[in-house]
Amino acid sequence: MLQNSMVYFNTLIIQEILQNTDLLEKMTKEDFRGLTPLFCNHINPYGIFKLNMNKRFDFSINNNVA
């Protein structure tokens, strides 16, 4: 269940990023072949998870850039 949730979340992030046509035009065949939603370096399995169940995650790129 955890892996399914991670893949779904990552897929939504990838879709949001690829909507930027500048990035899409720069991608090569090899880039598309290596594109996968199975990355997990953003998951912290041993720390504290701060969840806000009253607010949905905003997948737009502009709001998540620090």
Q: Tokens standing for 40? A: 């997990």
Tell me which residue of 22, 23, 17 sits closest to 59, measured CA to CA: 17
Convert the pLDDT of each residue in 20-52 to its tens digit: 768 888 889 999 899 899 888 777 777 777 778
Give the model's pLDDT for residue 56. 81
Contact (CB, 8 A) for 59 and 29: no
Kindly list the domain boundaries of the chain, sorted by start residue: 2-64
Give the model's pLDDT for residue 62. 63
Instruction: Tell me the average pLDDT of the chain.
Output: 80
